Amino acid sequence: MTTLLWIIAFLFVIGTFAYMRVSLLSSSIAVAAVIAVGSVLEVVSPLVWLIFLAIALPLNINAFRKSFITKPLLKLYRGIMPEMSSTEKEAIEAGTTWWEADLFAGNPDWKKLHNYPVARLSAEEQAFLDGPVEEACKMLSQHQVSHQLGDLPPEIWQYLKDHGFFAMIIKKKYGGLEYSAYAQSRVLQKLAGVSSELASTVGVPNSLGPGELLQHYGTEAQQDHYLPRLAKGLEVPCFALTSPEAGSDAGAIPDFGIVCKGQWEGEEVLGMKLTWNKRYITLAPVATVLGLAFKLRDPNKLLGDKEELGITCALIPTDIEGVETGRRHFPLNCMFQNGPTKGNEVFVPLSFIIGGPEMAGQGWRMLVECLSVGRGITLPSNSAGGIKTAAVATGAYARIRRQFKLPIGKLEGIEEPMARIGGNAYLMDAVTSLTTTGIDLGEKPSVISAIVKFHLTDRMQKCVIDAMDIHGGKGVCLGPNNYLGRGYQAAPIAITVEGANILTRSMIIYGQGAIRCHPYVIAEMESAFDTDNHRGLSNFDSALFGHIGFTTSNLVRSFWLGLTSSRFSNSPYSDKTKRYYQHMNRFSANLALLSDLAMATLGGGLKRKERVSARLGDLLSQLYLTSATLKRYQDEGRQSEDLALVQWAAEDSLYKLQDSLDDLLDNFPMGLGFVLRAVIFPFGRPIKRPSDVLDHKVAKIMQTPCSSRERLGQGQFWTPCENNPVGVQEQTFKDILACEPLHEKICKAAGKRLPFIWLDKLAEEGVSLGILSDAEVDLLKRAEIGRLKSINVDDFDSDELKAVEVSSRKHEQAA
Q: For residue 259, count CB atoms less than 10 angstroms from its CB and return exposed for 0-12, middle for 13-18, buried for 19 or more.
A: buried
> Measured at the alpha carbon of residue 60, what is the angle toward residues 55 and 61, in degrees to the nearest 5?
110
- 3-state SS, 127-182, equals HHHHHHHHHHHHHCCHHHHHHHHCCCCHHHHHHHHHCCHHHCCCCHHHCCCCCCHH
- Catalytic residue among 498, 524, 651, 730, which? 498
Torsion of the alpha carbons at 66, 69, 70 and 76, rounded to the nearest 10: 150
Distance (Å, rounded) from C-alpha 591 to C-alpha 594?
5
Question: Helices 196-203 & 485-496, crossing angle to 10 degrees?
Answer: 30
Task: Give residues with Cβ within 8 angstroms of 25, minimum separation 6.
Answer: 60
The residue count of the chain comes to 815
Burial 381-405 (b: 16+ CB within 10 A, else e): bbbbbbbbbbbbbbbbbbbbbbeee
DSSP codes of every residue in 560-573: HHHHTTTTTS--S-
Chain CA centroid to CA 431, Å? 7
| Catalytic annotation present for 498 | yes
- CB 393 within 8 Å of CB 725: no
Strand partners of residue 367: none
Question: Helices 86-93 & 363-374, crossing angle to 10 degrees?
Answer: 30
Strand partners of residue 317: 289
- CB 23 within 8 Å of CB 550: no
- CB 699 within 8 Å of CB 399: no
Do the strands 289-297 and 256-264 form a parallel or antiparallel pair, or are they unpaired?
Answer: parallel
Helix then strand then coil, % of the chain, to nearest 5:
65, 10, 25
> Measured between alpha carbons, how far is residue 705 from residues 713, 731, 738, 786 in Å?
12, 11, 11, 17
Task: Give residues with Cβ within 8 angstroms of 621, minimum separation 6.
Answer: 451, 454, 455, 509
Q: What is the DSSP letter of 324?
A: B
Chain CA centroid to CA 728, Å? 31
| Single-letter code of the amino acid located at 19 | Y
Distance (Å, rounded) from C-alpha 341 to C-alpha 292?
10
Distance (Å, rounded) from C-alpha 284 to C-alpha 436?
27
Task: Give residues with Cβ within 8 angstroms of 593, minimum separation 6.
Answer: 106, 551, 554, 555, 557, 558
Give me the phi and psi of 450, to 5 degrees please: -70, -40
- Count Cα neighbours of 594 within 13 Å in the Cβ-side half-sphere: 35
SS3 478: coil
Distance (Å, rounded) from C-alpha 619 to C-alpha 432?
19
Give me the phi and psi of 267, to 5 degrees please: -125, 155
Catalytic positions, please? 498
